[in-house]
Chain A
Amino acid sequence: MRVPMTEYLLIDLDTERWICRVCAHDFGDARGNYKEGTLVYDRDPREIHPPVIDPEKYEFTFSPDPTFCRILEFYCPTCGTQIEAEYLPPGHPPTVDMLWDIDSLREKWEAHGGNPEEVVNYGPGENAETDLSARFDSVSAHSHSHNTEGH
């Protein structure tokens, strides 16, 4: 049984592993920190948030100050999907953002009886209904860039 935990991460309750929902990459022990299985890049925030006013003339420009703020981008090592983008002070340890009780997760889903990949959606409302099953089951690995899921 696989449970969608984020837009791009599943937990496989049978193997107790974090799995990429796009390409099936194994990020590691589901009882631990999925980030340990990612590739990380320390992004200068000015590259993401370009200045609106001239940085040659002004200190405050709409671009974050790289001495205050970095953006850590976490990628899937196999498909290159950006799983997280974390804003941190330079040198601050990345946040261990999710730690789940796998025994409890299993118990809850066994009690529920449904298939998590079929019953989990984005919440109430018709337009929040979605398919959160593993994409790697139905989409060949080379075509994920076509994905426009959720539209």
Chain B
Amino acid sequence: MTRTIHLSLDINGQSHALDVEPRVTLLDALREHLALTGTKKGCDQGQCGACTCHVDGQRVLSCLTLAAQVEGRQITTIEGIAAETGELHPVQAAFLEHDAFQCGYCTSGQIMSAVACIKEGHAGSDDEIREYMSGNLCRCGAYNSIVSAVREAAEAAR
């Protein structure tokens, strides 16, 4: 017998109602139930960072978070960080400016992680950026450009 639970999730400032099995992760809820496919599934085991989202403003891995766990919390995904006018978030713009990707699969996770990294105050030097962005893997190896993009966005935010 399939058990389903009814959830109401606050995502990017909008309330979404959905019925899911209890085992459904936030990642699968976003992608499979709400068509918010900007958040990517890489390893699905908490090792790559591609699924990084914000919960109550803190970066977390949506693949290791149950959808049921975050009911009542404020969830932000890559779809929710640009201005309503369509103007890109400064970190998104910096990634474009620095060509901080190749295939692009890890990029939404990198950007969500970088936005939080800067807000936390952990982007003070290239070494600090590398340390605090280490949970986001890029298998194309665009790390140098990613560090440049984060550095520039951090400097602009000061």
To the question of whether A and B form a pair in one complex, the answer is no
